[in-house]
Copies of this chain bind each other. A is one copy, B any other.
Amino acid sequence: MCGLIGGADDLVHFSCTMDTTEFRRRGKEMVDLIADYLENIEQRTVYPDVEPGYLRSLIPEEAPEDPDTYEDVVKDIERVIMPGVTHWHSPYFYAYFPTANSFPAMLADMLSGAIGCIGFSWAASPACTELETVMMDWLGKMLKLPEDFIAGTHGQGGGVIQGTASEATLVALLAARCRAVRMILASDPQRPETGITSKLVAYSSDQAHCSVERAGMIAGVRMKKIPTDQSDKYAVQGETLRRMIQEDKAAGLIPFYFCATLGTTPSCAFDHITELGPICNAEKIWMHIDAAYAGSSFICPEFRPLLNGIEFADSFNFNAHKWLLVNFDCSTMWVKKRSDLIGAFKMDPLYLKHDHQESGMITDYRHWQIPLGRRFRSLKMWFVFRMYGLKGLQDYIRKHVELAKEFESLVRADQRFEISADVVLGLVCFRLKGSNEVNETLLKRINNGRKIHLVPCLLSGQFVLRFALCARTTESRHIREAWRLITQLAEEVMQELPH
């Protein structure tokens, strides 16, 4: 019985049989199912062979009136779900960027589900809020972030777990918008607010993630793309930003936000933040750093220089749920001044007030984010950091970079191919020397083969294949097998070309 024992007698006729006793049994079966799935994932077709709409016909059109048995539900996992799953944790998955999956994170998530608290305020579950603050400090220290970003017991900054980098970018943009409007109103109190907003201008790289442009649409502000080019490795240079700012100011606009990218999605390019930061600071422009993918690598001393310039930033974000073994969602964001974020969002209805609200010692994370509700996500960080240790996490990052370098050497050793961008971390951008069409055909063949999975990008108008190290269990033999498949298909494609 699922909770209807006792109470009004006439209601005790339903019979979901999943009580704690049954959960002990089924939960353990599920643990085995999961272990089996991950142990044998390599044998599955990485990219599913289904047509749009495949699933609807496999299940009823409506929910059952009376409960199904658990056996039926479990049977349907293989029948209904698995044929349509893209297996992101297969060692043959090289698409997009990685998404994390580790056992310590899964164990923590089970616990988080059971505690099932909603941590919108400190009082709603103090442990949920406090562990998050401390875990963000732990991670900030692993990254050697400037002291300003660490909450400690008296810091003005600190960290928060957002759902995704898209949300972090947007939250930073909204905070920047609010700060800009306030600064202008402070010097010119008569100026109408809408008149200010319509003059605001934000900037990002033309290589920035689509969510940056989208954040501009949501916030209703102008977002300009700063041109990059291959000769500068697809990075934004200080000089280009400086020129755009001057032009825009001359045209009566108000520059207020710059989203720098460390590790762009197309090619893992790094904007020159040591040049860009001082410009932003001088112009009172909020600099947000989006290092969604690359951020995890900064825990290694050899990659930490990529983050130099962080001291100029107002906010910094990366997805621990990408490359740091913490399952989705866990997008870790830090700000130098928490008051900047809070000011953009704060709402305090009576039903959310609590005794400790004004103590200054505590954090109500609902003021730091778009959603009100939030899961107990810091448990995942705590389990992963402790079960791997800093060294384990560093080794994991290094392993992926090593494998990327190995793949790069395979590509470079083949005269028919070229590398399209510097291989800095775990992403290799490459292509067949030749037309975009031939590369498009090659990629289509690769993905239709369904043995490995890749996605493309455009670099300087060229269609490029992205080979991203993704799965936790990828080894050298998988890389070599992937390369064997790619070259075999390339051979086919090239033989079909008209001479």
Contacts and interface: CB of A to CB of B under 8 A. Distances in A.
A449 interface: no
A426 interface: no
Interface magnitude class on chain A: 35 or more
B197 A116 contact: no
B88 A125 contact: yes
Nearest to A151: B56
28 contacts: A2-B103, A6-B475, A7-B475, A11-B399, A13-B391, A30-B107, A30-B111, A31-B110, A48-B126, A52-B356, A53-B362, A55-B131, A63-B385, A64-B385, A68-B389, A81-B115, A81-B131, A81-B379, A88-B118, A113-B327, A116-B328, A163-B373, A164-B373, A166-B371, A166-B372, A194-B197, A210-B352, A350-B457
A242 interface: no
A50 to B, nearest CB: 5
Given A105-B113, A329-B371, A350-B456, 16 more contacts: A13-B395, A18-B387, A23-B34, A23-B103, A33-B111, A48-B125, A59-B134, A73-B104, A85-B127, A87-B117, A96-B118, A106-B114, A163-B373, A219-B219, A266-B351, A370-B370
A62 interface: yes
Given A2-B396, A111-B30, A214-B347, A84 B53 contact: no
Interface in A301-344: 321, 325, 327-329, 344
Contacts of A11: 395, 398-399, 402
A361 interface: yes
Interface stretch (A135-143, A255-263, A281-289, A413-421): A135-143
A103 B26 contact: yes
Nearest to A18: B103
Interface string A27-46: 11011111101110000000
A23 B106 contact: yes
Contacts of A106: 23, 27, 110, 113-114
A87 to B, nearest CB: 8
A188 interface: no
